[in-house]
Amino acid sequence: MHDRFTEILRKKLSGDNYAKLMRLANRKLHRLIADAVELCEPASVFVSTDDPEDIRYIREKAVETGEEKRLAMAGHTCHFDGPNDQGRDKEVTKYLLKPGVDLGTHINATDREKGLAEVRGYLKGSMTGRQMIVRFFTLGPTRSVFSISGVQMTDSFYVAHSEDLLYRPGYEQFRALGDSPEYICVLHSAGRLVDGVSADVDRKRVYIDLEDEEVYSVNTQYAGNTVGFKKLSLRLAIRKADREGWLSEHMLLVGIRGPKGRITYFTGAFPSGCGKTATAMLPDETIVGDDLAYLRKIDGEVRAVNVECGIFGIIRDVNPHDDPVIWDALTKPGEVIFSNVLIQDGKSYWEGSGQDIPEEGVNYAGTWRRGKKNDNGKELAPSHWNARYTIRLEGLPNLDKHLDDPDGVVVGGIIYGGRDSDTWVPVQQSFDWIHGVVTMGASLESETTLATLGKPGIRAFQPMSNLDFVSIPLGRYVRNHLDFPGDITKPPLIFAANYYLKGKDGKYLNGMTDKHVWMKWMERRVHGEVDCARTPTGCIPLLDDLKRLFKEVLGKEYTREEYSSQFTLRTLENLSKLDRIEKIWRTEVSDTPEVLFEVLAEQRKRLEKTRSKFGDYVPPFEFAPG
């Protein structure tokens, strides 16, 4: 069989590309690429090594093919996705499962044989007349216990270029694998193109084959559906972590500076559009990563790495005041891909930037003028709500020196945060690891945004901000978190954050930059340098500490009135949340650990006791320090 695959490759690949592939002595890889060539029928195949010339070829072809347009500033390009291909499409993203395999009601799945036949049917001949690109990457730092190798085959130079900004080169690490089958494979085709975008989005499919650890994506270009090593491979990494006793998470990784030059590292799980990248990019702190993290126990400590080495971030509301580091990276020469923004005279514009947006230009819907409406009669904004930017972390002034450290960084705290208008206070600490996993991680909810397709503003259950990507039974996933510290004597502290709490008037109670103060408070808590007040749901900051931190960090006064409105315990809303969360875990998850219900019951008792004593809304001053 291997001879047949070799013959397919020899016929389709030029001498140089064939030689580059054959230097990788991996029979599974040769079979996979030969199968993809036979299936997708590309005109030619380009195999990319880690050589800068190979990478430059991909970058230039992205412009030559029209997938990207050069902008006026050196290194800047723009890409447009189709009007109906602007976010992760959860409905068509499915696991392929063999008969008898049940991962739970929250898993979007289909029969493996049926799904493979369907997606491979759409992929058949999909690359006719185009070049297939074969790219190799490393997830996590290279030559590390955290490292996972991956190969992607795609006919999109935009996708391949994006991956070059987001992931560490992996050709040489693939050579070191030898004949090992332990890696992730992704096959993508944009499908039939009209005006440069995927035309058959009604036949868009993003399928993850858990049996062979392969990802299939077709008839889509949006990076969340096509850059296989983001959320698609996250699903496969979660299964690997489950087998091996570590955690693969949808988490940022940031270093927060403390007194005397100390840096304390935090991971943070925030659903898309909830301030995750802005937290990772806080000014004067250090960024390790903004989206994906692997966590392992090493020498009695929890250590973590950034799976990636770049950012694929939401650009809406990025402006020089709220996000100065990102703003600087996007407005100076350097390699940046803008997607689905407004372009006019070679310059990019987006909403919330503070720029004067021109009255006309070009965006994902074509020629745009203010007042233009879509087919449903709704006025089109100049840039899409989910417009994005893609950059490397390398070169950012706040990049942490441990980005590529094969041992990762020691985790001092873990944060769970969502878009919550009426329940959680801005920041609180759990009583212990179990309490944090249950009441903050496994109880996380977030109001939906347009980072995924669908109606925004709906409160969604989002345990660990990872529900969309969990590829094992949900109860087992939570049990893995509960058990993770094992015999570690001082596991990371667990916190909950909420940047989106609103007052009675419907206005946000916090400014965009207040998150910096919450992070500084958490850093001090990790080292036992500030006290707290114990409430029924967790430990909250004391007013005097926040007054000092607001002055030190933001240079502004923080009032007793602000503290009272932000940290008042809303017992009714918290009890309603417990009702929702308990119902989900009892009725929709068959393997929920019993300890989860015990911890929720204890929280309910504390809330009911406090409500009977103080009423529905309890000012923070009623809770004693300790």
Q: Catalogue the active-site residues.
A: 274
Rg (CA), the chain: 24
User: Under 8 Å CB-to-CB from 338, ≥6 apart: which residues?
Assistant: 71, 76, 77, 78, 79, 315, 330, 348, 387, 388, 389
Helix 474-483 / helix 231-244 crossing angle, nearest 10 deg: 60
The tokens for 387 are 């417009």
Is residue 413 within 8 A of residue 279, CB to CB? The reply is: no
Q: Alpha-carbon torsion 158, 163, 164, 169, what sign?
A: negative
Distance in angstroms (rounded) separating the CA atoms of residues 380 and 360: 12
Please give the full DSSP string across 374-420, using - where no structure is assigned.
-TTSPBPPSS-TT-EEEEESTT-TTB-TTTT-TT-EEEEEEEEE---
Q: What is the dihedral of CA 58, 59, 61, 63, to 10 degrees?
A: 160
The tokens for 67 are 């997938």
Among 131, 136, 179, 163, residue whose Cα is nearest residue 14: 131
In single-letter form, the type of residue at position 316 comes to R
Q: Tell me the CA distances in angstroms from 623 to 156, 425, 492, 510, 572, one per residue in order.
A: 57, 14, 25, 22, 17
Side-chain half-sphere exposure of 36, counting CA atoms within 13 A: 29
Q: How many CB atoms lie within 10 A of CB 613?
A: 9
Tell how strand 205-209 and strand 214-218 pair up: antiparallel
Q: Is 31 helix (H, G, I), strand (E, B) or coil?
A: helix
The tokens for 568 are 């008042």
Distance of CA 583 to the CA centre of its chain: 27
Distance in angstroms (rounded) separating the CA atoms of residues 205 and 217: 6
Side-chain half-sphere exposure of 412, counting CA atoms within 13 A: 20
Q: Which residues pair with 339 in a beta bridge?
A: 79, 388
